Structure 1
Amino acid sequence: MKTKLILFLSGVLLSTGALQAQANQECATTASLAYSDAKAKNYDAAYPRIQTLRKECPTYSIVTYQYGERVLKDKLDNATGAEKEAIAKDLIELYKERLQHFPAKTEAGEVYVDIAQVMYDNKLGTTEEQFAAFDRAFKEDKASFNAKSLYTYFYLLVELQDAGKKTLQDVFDKYDIVIAEVENDENEMAEGLKKLLDKQEAGESLTAKEEKKLNAYEVNLKAYSSVKGSIDAKLGQRADCDNLIPLYSKDFEANKTNTDWLKRAAGRMSAKDCTNDPLFFKMVEALHKAEPSAKSALYLGQLAEAEGNNSKALEYYNQSAELETKPSDKATVYNKIAHSYKEKGQFSQARNYYRKALNAKPSFGRAYLQIAHMYAQSANNCGNTAFEKRAVYWLAADYAARAGRVDPSISSNANETAAAYRGRAPQRSDIFQEDMQGKTINIGCWIGESVRVPNL
């Protein structure tokens, strides 16, 4: 009896193993055909096989979901009406399946962002549901957001505020967070771009990989610059003094010892030039009393400047810059100091602070542009000959051009400025006549840099 049972169980196990082996072989065959079609962009042929893999072999390979995304996105691009909605919903399911079956190889934040964007792009769910999807993704991993998703996230919040479902304070709070993320991404890309530009300007050739990176940095910087402008436009008149002053006046007494609230409120009033209102002074006093900081020093500097006490303002601004830890804000303070020196004609000091601003925020193109303007203004005072003096404009043009590359929001103005300065520099006939092609000119006076004469 025992022998018969053992033989029966052995037969069952062998049968099960054979069936499993057969199933695995069928999965492998279907996958091979599906992946081959998808790789060749024959998405219509790949689609049914991908769907079979999802249903019958969900854990076979993560490649099923990678190619499946391409296939469904292609179908989505070519679908309309009810079919488009059905495919969008299926794409969301595919994202969820990938996260379920391959969690170790899938970034949850990226999946949530993708799901939220598909919902928005295809009008799935209410505005509240779409915003909730983005909010979940942002809380999971804000680094997973790209320029488009950051804008959509903020756009949906403003739409909810317009509908009375979110408060103006909600919008302001989220604006600060989203803009900070945009600027963090900008700075990382600008830093990478700067290194490659420095290598080029040193006369070194970029590798093919570096050329690709340089192009990617410039394209992405343009995208983030555009998004930042769109977010600011969406915020629009909500952030003007007429709205800010009554909003913060109403909440001041309850928050006069809340340093986080004071920093945000005073920061926004400062950014929108609402500093002449008595409320701003009350906020600064309360902030400096509760927690002397970079921000309170900055605002005290603004008040001193408004009263005409420029030396005291500079003292506060320097304190603020030294205490500030946020790169974007540090750059803004250094820019204020630089501008003050520039207005007084103290160009060397101004350049020092513009460079400090750039060290803090490499995408701060306006600093490069201001240095370019100062060089151009100094052209007649630097150099021993007329040729050398005009050569200063080449250097000014280089700085102006770099301004537009690291900050695409000012590229039009920067490129026009660079072209104008090149027009004032020695031309081909001048270079030929002076026999200066390819030579290096050391520019004296306060500039202290060199410029290479172009080859003919």
Structure 2
Amino acid sequence: MMIKKSLIVFLFIASVLTAKAQEASKCEEAIAAFETVVKSGNYDEALGGLKDLVKECPKADEKLYMLAEVAYVYKIESAQDKKSRQEFIDGLFALYDNYNKNFPAAKNRNAIKKAQLQYDQKLESEDKIFEAFDRAFTQQSHDFTGYKELEAYYSLYLKRFESGKANISTADFMSKFGDVSAQVIYAKNKILAKKSALLVKKETEPLTEEEKEFLASAKNDLDALTAVGENVDRLSSKHFRCEGLEEFYTAKFEKNKENADWLEALVNVMFLNRCYNSAVLEKGAHTLYELRPSVQSAFNMANIALRKNNTQEAVMYFDKAAQMEKNPEERADINYKIAGVFRNTDKAKAKEYTFKVMKDNPKDARPYIFLAEMYSSVTRECDVTEFERKALLWLAIDTAKKAEGVDPKYKRTVDSMVQGYEKRLPTADEMKEAGKRKGDEIKYGCWINETVTLPKIK
């Protein structure tokens, strides 16, 4: 039934074009009918009528070329033999040429797509494919944002550098590495900005199908770009050390100090290469935070402060990151980090932040494990007797068991903790010597601020 319907639509396209192709309204009707055929998945019928449609209505609507591209890409990917695949590739390349010819001012990615297809299908020499990518990267940097093309382009560049045949200097290599790293960040931020805008729009009005598809694929695209950025660094890091990175980014800093994507790349690269003591890392992180305050830029500042043992400043930036973080689970992770910072310096604060973790992520077992360990390791800081210190182990046991209730996969951890605590519990003789018995309460002040009811000791 669907095939019959699409065939009727296809015949309608032909009749429309025959009637009066140059009339704008007729072209609009024909392209609308063509869209119906493409969206029905009948790509053979669509491509069968494409030649006449492009011939008669070449400048009517960019949508014609975008729809035809969908059909060609599908046919290339599903082609059963090399000959038919090449025919569809040739058709797609011709489509791109017609698109560029008839819409020269259009902001499309045809040159990038063509280079990527040549790379995927090994249609040209690596040198020619690299040149195509390089032109696109230079001339269309704002559109050079796909993870596939970024990875392919840098892979070809790195191969040229490592072979020595292209006579690429170390300085030029560092420059290209910096440019691609910054481009990855730019691509990620472009997706994040659009995603954020669509989520806001979603609250007040319905999204188009295209917008829904974008949101559905955003996470995977972001993850892929992150992987590309890390891979670029991993493959390149053997060619430079922290000193080289420091020198490179210092030399480029003034020129790029207002380019947030470049600064973010600087920070990422220095962290990935463990250049923690770098002056340009600290300078770049601070400038980035001032230029574009975000969860990540605040988190970077906090980690730098931690490495300098400046816990007060670290907590300040962690707090700022938590305040900006809208995802409760992500915010819980930040607050858990803060609890860890305070663990040995301010246990009351540490406990306060574990409660924030529990509130934001009730399924997180870590804060219960954290608190249990704190209760079990009290020494003399809260002015408790030896019996009271041991009695706290009952609170540690109860708290640890809550972790298992929240997340069963912690059962083995909890069982091990409880077994260790039970060996250190007060004995019946110790309870008698302390003048205590079953049902008595011990109220703890200090950072603990809890009450333990003594059980019967066997």
TM-score by length of 1: 0.56
CA separation of 1:416 and 1:230: change in aligned 2, threshold 3 A = farther
Q: Is the 8 A contact 2:339 2:353 kept in 1?
A: no
1:65-214 mapped onto 2 (5 Å cutoff) = 65-79=65-79, 80-104=81-105, 106-108=106-108, 110-144=109-143, 145-164=145-164, 165=166, 166-187=168-189, 189=191, 209=207
Give how far 1:42 is off: 0.7
Give how far 1:219 is off: 3.0
CA separation of 1:160 and 1:336: change in aligned 2, threshold 3 A = same
Per chain length, whose mean CA-contact separation is higher, i.e. which structure has more relative contact order (CA < 8 Å, sep 6+)? 1
Determine the C-alpha separation between the residues in 2 that align with 1:211 and 1:75.
Answer: 25
Give how far 1:50 is off: 0.6
Which consecutive residues of structure 2, in runs of 5 or more, have no partner in the other structure?
Answer: 1-16, 372-398, 407-445, 448-458
Determine the C-alpha separation between the residues in 1 that align with 2:117 and 2:240.
Answer: 30
CA separation of 1:128 and 1:338: change in aligned 2, threshold 3 A = same
1:287 match: none
1:299-448 mapped onto 2 (5 Å cutoff) = 321=286, 334-340=301-307, 343=309, 346=311, 348-355=312-319, 369=333, 371-375=335-339, 381-382=347-348, 391-395=355-359, 397=361, 426=402
CA separation of 1:273 and 1:32: change in aligned 2, threshold 3 A = closer
Determine the C-alpha separation between the residues in 2 that align with 1:205 and 1:257.
Answer: 45
Determine the C-alpha separation between the residues in 2 that align with 1:86 and 1:419.
Answer: 63
Q: Is the 8 A contact 2:305 2:314 kept in 1?
A: yes
Secondary structure at the aligned position of 1:142 is classed as coil
Could you give the per-residue CA deviations for residues 334-390 of structure 1, whole angstroms, max 9, x where no partner exists? 24543146x46x3x5322123567899999x99984542222565894499x9x896
The reply on whether 1:47 has 2:47 as its aligned counterpart is yes
Give how far 1:53 is off: 2.0
Q: Is the 8 A contact 1:354 1:368 kept in 2?
A: no
1:238 match: 239
Determine the C-alpha separation between the residues in 2 that align with 1:416 and 1:195.
Answer: 34
Give how far 1:115 is off: 1.8
The alignment of Structure 1 onto Structure 2 pairs a total of residues equal to: 341
Determine the C-alpha separation between the residues in 1 that align with 2:183 and 2:321.
Answer: 19
Determine the C-alpha separation between the residues in 2 that align with 1:91 and 1:195.
Answer: 33
Give 1:90's aligned amino acid. G
Determine the C-alpha separation between the residues in 2 that align with 1:229 and 1:112.
Answer: 26
CA separation of 1:360 and 1:162: change in aligned 2, threshold 3 A = farther
Give how far 1:38 is off: 1.7
CA separation of 1:33 and 1:418: change in aligned 2, threshold 3 A = farther
Determine the C-alpha separation between the residues in 1 that align with 2:146 and 2:324.
Answer: 23
Determine the C-alpha separation between the residues in 2 that align with 1:392 and 1:20.
Answer: 70
Please give the root-mean-square deviation of Cα atoms over the aligned residues, in Å: 5.5
CA separation of 1:321 and 1:154: change in aligned 2, threshold 3 A = same
Determine the C-alpha separation between the residues in 1 that align with 2:331 and 2:353.
Answer: 23
Q: Which protein is richer in helix relative to its size?
A: 1
Could you give the per-residue CA deviations for residues 371-424 of structure 1, whole angstroms, max 9, x where no partner exists? 42222565894499x9x89634415758xx9xxxxxxxxxxxxx9968977996
Could you give the per-residue CA deviations for residues 185-221 of structure 1, whole angstroms, max 9, x where no partner exists? 3345556778999x9xxxx989875998765543332
Secondary structure at the aligned position of 1:51 is classed as helix
Give how far 1:160 is off: 1.8
Determine the C-alpha separation between the residues in 2 that align with 1:158 and 1:213.
Answer: 31
Give how far 1:92 is off: 2.0
Determine the C-alpha separation between the residues in 1 that align with 2:251 and 2:355.
Answer: 57
Could you give the per-residue CA deviations for residues 49-95 of structure 1, whole angstroms, max 9, x where no partner exists? 01222345433443321221111111101223233233223212211
Determine the C-alpha separation between the residues in 1 that align with 2:187 and 2:285.
Answer: 24
Percent sequence identity over aligned pairs = 22
CA separation of 1:396 and 1:67: change in aligned 2, threshold 3 A = closer
Could you give the per-residue CA deviations for residues 120-145 of structure 1, whole angstroms, max 9, x where no partner exists? 12212221221221222222222212
Give how far 1:182 is off: 1.7
Secondary structure at the aligned position of 2:66 is classed as helix
Give 2:86's aligned amino acid. E
Secondary structure at the aligned position of 2:142 is classed as helix
